[in-house]
């Protein structure tokens, strides 16, 4: 009887062990797709030279977007690369001033801080945002403050399936993105583009909202469409400051095809 009991127990143990291995492999599948890029403060020798193919930032350039919000109201966004800088974690970052308007009224004003590492990855170092008319600063964060870390806004060599966190401030700002495609063809009022990078952007604090963003080579973000949780759309209509050769952005008759 003792021998039979042991024979029954051994197969049961094997089955449980197999189930445990399957559970562990399933739980680690998603993190394995995540970007393995590591933030290293010593890897920023020229952080203001932000010439990433899909996210170039040159002082003097202002990208203007028109769109509609979830209520169908007209929106406008002005994304201006300034000459201002801010030192974060010992790294000099570029200050981008972003104004968002609804029906012509300023609704939100934000300073974003970006820096490019030696490998060409563009890091999001934080933001200071002001909502109007409440003057709330909810969503503001800075790498190195209150446990927040630098996030990736654009990889140097994005690949389909890459997943990365853009904002790393637990409970305050937790945006991320997944690369869906590298060969989209997209037309916006500013022009038509090929070899466009498409991402799915998500917010861990608002899991019911998803956006698709499109980035044209040599230009940057040209279109944003909310695909879950709303109907907002924004498209690039104009770039000011491109007459200056130092901007590094394609002009109206130099759009990459």
Instruction: Note the pTM of the prediction, 2 decimals.
Output: 0.81
Residue 236 has pLDDT above 60, yes or no: yes
CA dihedral of 132, 133, 139, 141, whole degrees rounded to 10: 80
What is the pLDDT, as a whole number, of residue 35?
59
What is the pLDDT, as a whole number, of residue 250?
57
What is the pLDDT, as a whole number, of residue 243?
55
What is the pLDDT, as a whole number, of residue 231?
86
- Model confidence at 2, pLDDT cuts 50, 70, 90, reads very low
Residue 246 has pLDDT above 70, yes or no: no
Taking the CA of residue 209 as centre, how many other CA atoms within 13 Å lie in the half-sphere pointing to its CB?
14
* Mean residue pLDDT across the chain: 85
Q: Measure Cα distances from 227 to 195, 202, 221 in Å.
A: 21, 11, 17
Residue 45 has pLDDT above 60, yes or no: yes
Report the first-to-last Cα separation within the chain, whole angstroms: 79
User: Which residues, including other chains, have CB under 8 Å from residue 39's CB and lie 6 or more apart?
Assistant: 123, 149, 150
161 near 132, Cβ under 8 Å? no
Residue 51 has pLDDT above 60, yes or no: yes
Asked, as a colleague might, if the bond just before 133 is cis with ω within 30 of 0, I would say: yes
Residues 67-93: tens digit of each pLDDT: 999 888 999 999 999 999 999 999 999
What is the pLDDT, as a whole number, of residue 55?
98
Distance CA 219, CA 251 (A): 9
What is the pLDDT, as a whole number, of residue 36?
77
Tokens of 113: 């801080």
Residue 117 has pLDDT above 90, yes or no: yes
- Model confidence at 16, pLDDT cuts 50, 70, 90, reads very low
What is the pLDDT, as a whole number, of residue 229?
83
Question: Span 23-51, mean pLDDT?
Answer: 70
What is the pLDDT, as a whole number, of residue 33?
52
């Amino acid at each position: 009887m003792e021998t039979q009991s042991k024979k029954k127990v051994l197969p049961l143990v094997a089955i449980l062990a197999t189930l445990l291995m399957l559970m562990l492999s399933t739980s680690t599948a998603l993190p394995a797709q995540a970007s393995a890029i590591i933030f290293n403060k010593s890897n920023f020798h020229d952080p203001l030279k932000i010439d990433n193919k899909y996210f170039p930032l040159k002082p003097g350039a202002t990208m203007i977007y028109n769109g509609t919000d979830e209520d169908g109201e007209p929106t406008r966004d002005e994304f201006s690369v300034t000459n201002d800088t801010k030192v974060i974690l010992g790294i000099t970052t570029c200050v981008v001033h972003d104004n968002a308007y609804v029906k012509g009224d300023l609704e939100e004003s934000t300073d974003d801080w970006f820096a490019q590492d030696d490998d060409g990855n563009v890091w999001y170092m934080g933001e200071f945002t002001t909502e109007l008319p409440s003057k709330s600063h909810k969503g503001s964060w800075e790498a190195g403050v209150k446990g927040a870390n630098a996030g990736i806004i654009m990889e140097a060599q994005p690949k389909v399936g890459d997943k990365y966190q853009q904002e790393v401030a637990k409970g305050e700002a937790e945006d991320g993105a997944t690369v869906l495609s590298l060969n989209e063809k997209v037309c916006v009022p500013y022009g038509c583009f090929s070899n466009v990078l498409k991402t799915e952007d998500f917010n861990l604090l608002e899991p019911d909202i998803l956006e698709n963003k499109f980035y044209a080579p040599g230009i940057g973000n040209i279109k944003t469409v909310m695909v879950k949780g709303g109907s907002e759309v924004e498209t690039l209509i104009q770039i000011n400051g491109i007459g200056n050769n130092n901007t590094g952005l394609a002009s109206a008759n130099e759009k990459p095809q």
